[in-house]
Amino acid sequence: MSRFINLACAQMGPIARTDSRTVVVRRQIALLREAKSRGADFVVFPELAFTTFFPRWLLSDQAEIDSFFERDMPGPETQPLFDAAKDLGIGFYIGYAELAEEEGHTRHFNTAIIVDSKGGIVGKYRKIHLPGHAEPVEGRASQHLEKRYFEPGNLGFPVWRTLDGIVGMCICNDRRWPETYRVMALQGAELVCVGYNTPDDHTGVFDFDQFTGFHHQLSLQAGAYQNATWVAAAAKSGFEEGSNMIGLSMIVAPSGQIVAMASSTGDELISARCDLDMGTLYKRTIFDFARHREPSHYGLIVERKGAVVEV
Ligand code: CDV
């Protein structure tokens, strides 16, 4: 059995602080058009794709902070992206900073959505694993203040029936955590979409930072293989406002193999013809969760070793 989709990742080069959303959306539409010319059904855009990666700065003026957030999706400046996708008949995943009025107060989330080929929002995910700090770390040349600007997502890791398959979402740092993929895989995920912004000095410790590209690849390839799912990952990359952001956007098969990878750190489209049924093979054999997983035993093993982990 085969269920092919033509999948693309639209890596985006740097976005300057002064770039308007109109300018950014124009670049995204150019990438969508290229995707169409390659026959793509679906395009994955990066995390926080409409603005520069503002959590690198310590900002205290709430109005300035909120200027990086979207109150409506689509809004007046982002609507042209939805219109273009609908005209081209292509669906997409995109990340943005979401300002929501919920439970009687204003809330800030790092969010991603799936939009179908008719321009309708199919699903929303809010980033759960927020890296970095709420306050600047003394002595660090660069900061990562996501914990200051966002609260952890409150929507879990759902999956959606779309693209003739089962699709899930995560955002950037989520891709390093095994539970991200496993929670979606337990719901049958066949494709996990991820947008990211990864500076090449994200720990501030060279011994770790020198492996930034490797750890990114390792996380995606292990996540795909161990969960029998395709993974499509799109970077915001290049030298953005003083920060070097890795590229390496890639599409990984359920075998763990990279089937497409970006070679630049600018706007670049990568694509691959992906058989969603490839994961089915793994799900029926080595990763048949129902037959081989032993969750009722995991707790016993942890207890016997005297670990402090509660399961
Ligand atoms: N935007 C991110 O979540 N970035 C993190 C860095 C800061 C560690 C990442 O995991 O790539």
Region of residue 204 (phi > 0: left; psi between -120 and 50: alpha; otherwise: beta) = left
Q: What is the pTM of this model?
A: 0.95
Cβ-contact 251, 273 below 8 angstroms: no
Region of residue 186 (phi > 0: left; psi between -120 and 50: alpha; otherwise: beta) = alpha
pLDDT per residue, tens digit, the chain (311 aa), is 789 999 999 999 999 999 999 999 999 999 999 999 999 999 999 999 999 999 999 999 999 999 999 999 999 999 999 999 999 999 999 999 999 999 999 999 999 999 999 999 999 999 999 999 999 999 888 899 999 999 999 999 999 999 999 999 999 999 999 999 999 999 999 999 999 999 998 888 898 999 999 999 999 999 999 999 999 999 999 999 999 999 999 999 999 999 999 999 999 999 999 999 999 999 999 999 999 999 988 885 554 444 444 43
Residue 124 annotated in active site: no
SS3 call for 60: coil
Residue 308 structure tokens? 């402090």
**Residue 33 Cα to ligand 1 middle (Å):** 29
**279: CATH:** 3.60.110.10
**Residue 209 Cα to ligand 1 middle (Å):** 12
CB-based contacts of 172, cutoff 8 Å, min separation 6 = 47, 110, 127, 131, 194, 195, 196, 197, 198
- Evaluate whether residue 267 is within a structural domain: yes
- The minimum-distance atom of ligand 1 relative to the CA of 175 is 10
- Evaluate whether residue 311 is within a structural domain: no
Residue 172 annotated in active site: yes
- Evaluate whether residue 224 is within a structural domain: yes
Using DSSP bridges, classify how beta strands 105-115 and 191-197 pair: parallel, antiparallel or unpaired.
Answer: unpaired
Structural domain range at position 212 = 4-303
The closest alpha carbon to 13, from 241, 170, 211, 169, belongs to 241
- Evaluate whether residue 296 is within a structural domain: yes
Annotated catalytic residue within 9, 36, 70, 127: 127
The closest alpha carbon to 200, from 214, 210, 188, belongs to 210
**Residue 171 Cα to ligand 1 middle (Å):** 9
**Residue 197 Cα to ligand 1 middle (Å):** 6
Using DSSP bridges, classify how beta strands 121-126 and 250-252 pair: parallel, antiparallel or unpaired.
Answer: unpaired
Count of domains for the chain: 1
Of 169, 177, 198, which is best to mutate to test ligand 1, by the most ligand atoms within 8 angstroms of its C-beta?
Answer: 198
